[in-house]
Structure 1
Amino acid sequence: MDGSSIGNPGSCGIGRVIRDDLGRLVQAYASHVGYGSNNKVELMALLHGLRICKSLNISNVIVEMDSMVVISWWLRGRCGVWYLEDFWEEIIGLTCTIHCCFQHVFREGNRVADWLAKEEASGIDFDFSNNSIMPRVLQGLIRLDSLGLPSLRG
């Protein structure tokens, strides 16, 4: 999962990719979450991703995100930003019902969610579960990701 805030603070989009235990795409989502900072949108990406996993009855989740801030909050067991505490408390509640393992990934390993989040922050909605209807650039990023190959930044 990933979040994008254009302008920081600015227009915010989140991207989430759900894969099965073999790395195959289950669903890819992008959502607009209003206006805010990069830390808020990264936390919102996590919250929305966990909500979707719960709604799909997925009980074992490996969370991969490039936000060291959110990962450090998880390791400390607290967010510490007063206006994000309600979101944080809901995340903690969801992780009590879903077994989660958190892992930091560099942006190059998170290109699918990053691309989705940036497109959504620009105002383009996505909800995919079938490769044939995806934009070609997204198909390519998913293919590289499924092969375990990072995408290079330009």
Structure 2
Amino acid sequence: MTYTAQMMKAYPAEINLDRGRLAEVIDTLMSCAQACTACADACLSEPSGELPRLTRCIRDNMDCAAICTTTAEVLSRHTGYDANLTRAQVQSAIQATKTCGDSCAEHARDHEHCRVCAEACRQTEQALNGLVSQLTSSGAVPRQPSQAAPQRR
């Protein structure tokens, strides 16, 4: 069991999503962020003649890594939950993984690191699409952000 799954299981309040599924999505996002970071670095290690061709891929990798990390962080926090913010962040991550996956796929035949990254992005995009449908079809009316609970002493 991952630490993410352990933390979801240990969370003391109600979560309106399947905790196991949510943990899987968070872990997938973090794995994708790592793949994107490593791919950007690998692109930078290619021969200098390749760099102009890889510039957009490097940028897409860096953007995707940052957005996936932020999305995992947002999905890990439940106190004062704001469904509208969470949904928007997940939709942003769907776009980032699609963009990065497409960008890496253009270079996948020539660069193994791009092939691996494109695969990670596609898998993450699928996981997020499954989650966003749960966020929008829950039937719950989004509430205003709640006040943070006072700390217990």
TM range (shorter): under 0.3
TM-score by length of 2: 0.28
Is the helix fraction higher in 1 or 2?
2
Is the strand fraction higher in 1 or 2?
1
RCO higher in structure (CA 8 A, sep ≥6): 1
